[in-house]
Every structure is written in C-alpha cells, then in structure tokens.
Amino acid sequence: MIRIHGMGTGELGTWLAGAIGVFGALGGISGGWLADKKGATDKRWYLWIPAFSTLGFIPFGVTTFMVDNVYISLISYCGVCYFSAMYLGPVLAVAMRLAGQNMRAMSSAVLFFIMNLIGMGMGPWLVGYGSDLFAPDLGVDSLRYSLITVMCIGSTWCFFHYYKAAVYVREDIGFCQD
C-alpha cells in the first residue's frame, strides 16, 4: 500500500487494524463455529474448513495486490483477513484432540512454533527474495507479483496437506479417546 499506492503509514495502520481486528476475528470465530457445526457429523470438516479457507482467500489476495484503486484493495484485504483466520480454531481443536491430556501444552507449543517459523520466518523472506528476483523485469510491481506467487504456492501447499490429513482424521480422533 505504501510502495504501490503511496499511502501514508497512519492511514494504512488504521485500515489494517480494522481489517485484521474485525475481519480476522470474524474469520477465526466463524471457522471454529463452522467446524464444530459440520464436524458434529463428520470430523473431516475440522480439516476441510482450513483446506477450503486457504483457497478462499486467493481471489481476495489477488484482487488486493493487483487493483489500482487503493480503497478497493483495502476492502478486498478484509476478505483475505477473514478467510486466512478461519483455519486456526479447527486446527487447534484437532491438535488438542490428537494429543493426550499430558501432552496438550507441548502440542500447542510445537504447533505455534512451526506456524511462526514458517509464517513469520520463511514467508517474509520468500516475499522479499521474490521481489528482488522479479525487480529487474517488473520494477516497483515486483512486490505485487512476489506476494501473489508466495500466497498462491503457500495456499495450494496448505490445501493439499489439510485435505490429505482429512482422510485420516476420523480414525485418528477415534483412536485418541481420552
């Protein structure tokens, strides 16, 4: 927003706080609610919700990064925030259900460590690397294309793993009765 649209940090911070705070919270709550509702009949929904939500934010992300109007971009980012937060409740529920009572704290710690290592460690590095790689051909737009590339590859990778894990989750949860 700053690089492409020339937006100031104060205005951008206000928009992002609202988008992430409101739509991220709504996404997290609705992901958990939907997984509990649908998961009552089929436990695979606890992984299908994260699988489909990771694909659900791709069109919003592409719109966010590709439109020329800053306000359409920011409104579209609300969809990114919503869908990208839907995974957390169901994933934590599965992790807690699969871990024994004496291992739930360690399970949470490992889960958050991996999420932060990949999401906050590798993600920004890959976006920066991609931006530098695309810069000779795309100039200032290299950041847009790097963000879209990392988002699409990462989301597809996550979708595959969530969907594949859903094949086994019913048996695994049934096996892990407390």
Q: What angle do CA 19, 23, 26 make, to 5 degrees?
A: 160
Mean of pLDDT values over 53-79: 94
Q: Which residues contact 15 (CB under 8 A, 6 or more apart)?
A: 1, 74, 77
As a whole number, the mean pLDDT across the chain is: 92
pLDDT digits (tens, 9 = 90+) for 74-90: 999 999 999 999 999 99
Quote the pTM value.
0.88
pLDDT bracket for residue 176 (50, 70, 90): low
Give the residue numbers spanning the domain of 136.
2-175
Q: Indicate whether 177 pLDDT > 80.
A: no
111-121 burial, b for 16+ CB within 10 Å, e for fewer? beeeeeeeeee
How many distinct structural domains can be found in the chain?
A: 1
Q: Indicate whether 49 pLDDT > 90.
A: yes
Q: Indicate whether 178 pLDDT > 70.
A: no
Question: Which of 34-48, 147-161, 162-176 is predicted with the least confidence, judged by mean pLDDT?
Answer: 162-176
pLDDT bracket for residue 140 (50, 70, 90): confident
The 3-state secondary structure of the chain, one letter per residue: CHHHHCCCHHHHHHHHHHHHHHHHHHHHHHHHHHHHHHHCCCCCHHHHHHHHHHHHCHHHHHHHHHCCCHHHHHHHHHHHHHHHHCCHHHHHHHHHHHCCHHHHHHHHHHHHHHHHHHHHHHHHHHHHHHHHHHHHHHHHHHHHHHHHHHHHHHHHHHHHHHHHHHHHHHHHHHHCCC
Q: Is 92 exposed, middle or buried (0-12, 13-18, 19+ CB in 10 A)?
A: middle
CATH of the domain at 128: 1.20.1250.20
- Which of left, alpha, beta for 172 (phi over 0: left; psi -120 to 50: alpha)? alpha
pLDDT digits (tens, 9 = 90+) for 79-128: 999 999 999 999 999 998 888 888 889 999 999 999 899 888 899 999 99
pLDDT of residue 175: 60
pLDDT of residue 99: 87
* 173 compared with 154, residue with greater pLDDT: 154
> Are 80 and 33 contacting, i.e. CB atoms less than 8 angstroms apart?
no
